[in-house]
Structure 1
């Protein structure tokens, strides 16, 4: 196993770690496969397409739909809650007062107020695949959006993984799921820069600078006993091994993960999301992950998934939304602005959503409990028809009364923004049977 020390990077837990890459057992899933294995699996599927990306932001725990994008001002006090709606820059659309920055750029986004099809599990699988965890379980399960994109397109750049999961470990493990490869196998699992492989990040005498000299790299591979071709160190390796070394000798991925290279004014625009409150067994409100996500897609990553905050508000719902919502307002508006200023917004679709909604009635702990009948979502960029509020719920926020939008329609829309036609595209499962990515079509109002 080889691990390489890189430049120091700052992560949302406040500890300084070093960016790393590993050739022996790189942190792709739990299978311990090498980069060479990954590239062999992807080689037949790589295509020369324009680089489109998805940033999938999971609001773990179930965000309260009626306290975010559709405030119920006409509902009784035990339903209505504490928030007031504010106008956006799109006439006729109002959202919660905790999102003033997002309100000022509503023309660049769409809110979906009538998400249906939530199965009720406290996990991210439907937001990552469109399916519940029982679908094709005997074959390994359904692949996530990032895994499917890696299979269909391969990497944009040999030195950059096509799928990256930034979700930091959480005590409730399903909330830190970055997306599984399902029946595609571990070769298409997300690269996790905060994964188990980061526990060992040293190699005697080797730094990223020295990796530019491939002869030095091969000479100091830990434990390797093999002859090196006297005509050139790379001639003894196959093409896939060379691609693995391309990652190790390139600074692209390491640089993308290193916020010390970012303009301090940009870092300030995103904020850090601290202090972390209401985290408990969930994810922190790590604003910096959204900035890292931008840097990753800019470097060539096709799909980035992350988990932001813990929205399971059985108690103190309104305090939690003020805290999490205000921080999300800062970093999400910064991400949209950042992408727009770089000319990337039409090529990057951002999805912000959770596994289900919250009960209309406020409980005695000033909280809202689980509610699977309706939820919400926020989409921005991706060349979509933005500046819309799609769907509506009844006066109490109990169920969708206008334009129910199935969770699979949202996933299909993300695929559409990647350039993948879900009506015609299939991937063969291990039995050789072609499987469609989802059963639903993209949201017509956004892609028509």
Structure 2
């Protein structure tokens, strides 16, 4: 079998992201890490079912044209869209988000997010740290890798952390899968999502299982020569269980969902916005990730990082033609997919345990540029949260008249992470990770949770 064929052995996946037997291990865990994870995962029972979904609006969504509209600002700031009422009295959001508006009383909106940097790589959304922090040691780990290291799996058939990234410029999204200085043993499991599919078939699992067992047998002999065969037996059993898990394969196969469910997410459904030409974006590719996130969490995943973007070069990075891009390509499918995801979690009784955070790497410039676009803007942005037992139906913070700076209650990026970590049962004040120089590193420096959300 050629290396090229082997790397795509599983339909919809790059096999190298799953199987790294020789130097690393299976599914991002070395032998020692895999066995230690079982001991680490003795979580308090109240936290074992808790999980997070970290949704990155890649490119930086315009806060002024989504959740923090400024109808009283001059025309060169307020833009083309009208605002609509939501289920929170007095709170209005963009007219192209009607489904989210209907559910906002069960969500929380932050309008004073600040402290970003002008960088598209998503480092701060994935790790809480600016890009390049501790680069000489491999960089900071993303939140899913931190959970894998500190708490380990709750279900041996399912990876602790999954990163569902798009096929557009994967290097910008590396932070969402990278374990940084923790090493590749704790990288997030990363399906190949370039065509919107992540399905495994029984035939290919069987075929790959034979290849896996051959490699494990070779490694078993090597370990036996060093007196480690007993540990290898335990590892082999767990590794094969994971890689050939029907439970995990089924979770990744969204075609097992009834057609009506997939249609609610807009998967494979064309849509038009006010008679506009058919949208260019691949709606199925984007919203399938929401549905797959729900299925993975139901199986025991604790952190799912999701990239949601148009898929073409523009994404949410609307330097030109901002309003047509949002009106016809971005906001309608996003409104459909996120609302369906919310409804799914709510109807299945999962909202108390699953905390969902939706945000971009920065906002967009308040003043519209000469190309009818908005440029990068780090001083202010918005974020949307729901689930996780949060106090919802509220808006936290505000920005000035033209949306250029927080007017009150500025929220730092790391405060969002403090809220996420505490939801998972990790105390950001006490928890540390040991870097490659054997020095303890705190997870974040701003350790205050957002008190309005958690009380």
Q: TM-score range by the shorter chain?
A: 0.7 to 0.9
Q: In structure 2, what is the equivalent of residue 10 of structure 1?
A: none
Helix, strand or coil for the counterpart of 1:221? Answer: helix
1:117-176 deviations in Å (ceiling 9; x for gaps): 101111111001100122222222111100000111101111100011110221363046
Q: Among residues 387, 390, 408, which one is paired with 1:384 in the alignment? A: 390
Query: Once the two structures are superposed, what CA deviation does each residue of 1:331-383 show, in whole Å capped at 9, x if it has no partner?
Result: 10111110011110111111111111111111121110111111111111111
Separation (CA, whole Å) in 1 of partners of 2:90 and 2:216: 66
Change (3 A) 1:57 1:249: same
State the match for 1:140 in structure 2.
138
State which of 321, 335, 341 in structure 2 corresponds to 1:335. Answer: 341
Partner of 1:294: 294
SS at match of 1:192: coil
| Secondary structure class of the residue paired with 2:109 | strand
Give, in whole Å, the separation in 2 of the partners of 1:220 and 1:411: 40
Q: 1:325 aligns with which of 321, 328, 331?
A: 331
> Quick one: distance in 1 between partners of 2:367 and 2:232?
64
Deviating more after overlay: 28-37 vs 373-382:
28-37
Q: Equivalences for 1:365-444 in 2 at 5 Å? A: 365-440=371-446, 441-444=448-451
Partner of 1:9: none
Matching residue of 1:359: 365
Residues 344 and 42 (structure 1), Cα distance of their counterparts in 2 relative to 1, 3 Å cut? same
Residues 351 and 378, structure 1, Cα contact 8 Å, conserved in 2:
yes
Deviation of 1:325 (Å)? 1.2
Q: Quick one: distance in 2 between partners of 1:181 and 1:223? A: 25
Q: Is the 8 A contact 1:180 1:190 kept in 2?
A: yes
Q: Pick from 111, 124, 127: which aligns with 1:126?
A: 124
Q: Is residue 267 of structure 1 aligned with residue 262 of structure 2?
A: yes
**By how many angstroms is 1:41 displaced?**
5.6
Q: Distance in 1 between matches of 2:261 and 2:117?
A: 38
Are the counterparts in 2 of residues 125 and 179 from structure 1 also a CA contact under 8 Å?
A: no
Mean CA deviation greater in 336-345 or 422-431: 422-431
Quickly say closer, same or farther: Cα 1:265–1:72, change in 2 above 3 A. Answer: same
CA change 1:172–1:252 in 2 (3 A) is closer
SS of the equivalent of 1:438 reads coil
Deviates more, 1:246-255 or 1:353-362: 246-255
Cα distance in 1 between the residues matched to 2:390 and 2:212: 51
TM-score using structure 1 length: 0.84
Cα displacement string for residues 88-110 of structure 1 (whole angstroms, at most 9, x for unaligned residues): 11212211111111111112211
Given that residues 115 and 379 in structure 2 are in contact (C-alpha distance below 8 angstroms), is that contact kept between their aligned partners in structure 1?
yes
**For the structure 1 residues 406 and 29, does the alpha-carbon distance in structure 2 shift closer, same or farther, using more than 3 Å as the test?**
farther
1:56 alignment partner in structure 2: 54
Alignment correspondent of 2:164: 166
* 3-state SS of 2:176 partner: coil
CA contact (8 A) 1:69 1:95 kept: yes
TM-score (norm 2): 0.83
Q: Does 1:84 align with 2:82?
A: yes
Q: Secondary structure at the match of 1:69?
A: coil
Report how many aligned residue pairs link the two structures.
421
Rounded to whole Å, the distance in 2 between the matches of 1:349 and 1:30 is 36
Q: Kindly tell me: are residues 145 and 325 of structure 1, through their superposed partners in 2, closer, same or farther at Cα, counting changes over 3 Å?
A: same
The whole-number CA distance in structure 1 between the counterparts of 2:267 and 2:65 is 23
More helix by share: 2
Give the match for residue 68 of structure 2: 70
Aligned equivalents of 1:202, 1:379: Cα separation in 2: 31
CA distance in 2, matches of 1:184, 1:331: 33
Q: What is the CA–CA distance in structure 1 between the aligned matches of 2:437 and 2:395, rounded to whole Å?
A: 42
Match of 1:18 in 2: 11
Give the Cα separation in 2 of the matches to 1:413 and 1:299: 23
Give the drift of 1:115.
0.7
**Partner Cα separation in structure 1 for residue 414 and residue 444 of structure 2:** 6
Separation in 1 of the partners of 2:212 and 2:177? Answer: 37
Contact 1:27 1:195 (C-alpha < 8 Å) held by counterparts: no
Change beyond 3 A, Cα 1:148–1:195:
same
| Deviating more after overlay: 408-417 vs 114-123 | 408-417
User: Of residues 291, 301, 316 in structure 2, which corresponds to 1:311?
Assistant: 316
> 1:34 maps to what in 2?
26
Q: Using a 3 Å threshold, how does the CA distance of structure 1 residues 191 and 30 change in structure 2: closer, same or farther?
A: farther
CA contact (8 A) 1:28 1:191 kept: no
The whole-number CA distance in structure 2 between the counterparts of 1:176 and 1:313 is 22
SS in 1 for 2:89: coil
**Equivalent residue runs for 1:101-120 within 5 Å:** 101-120=99-118
CA contact (8 A) 2:200 2:249 kept: no
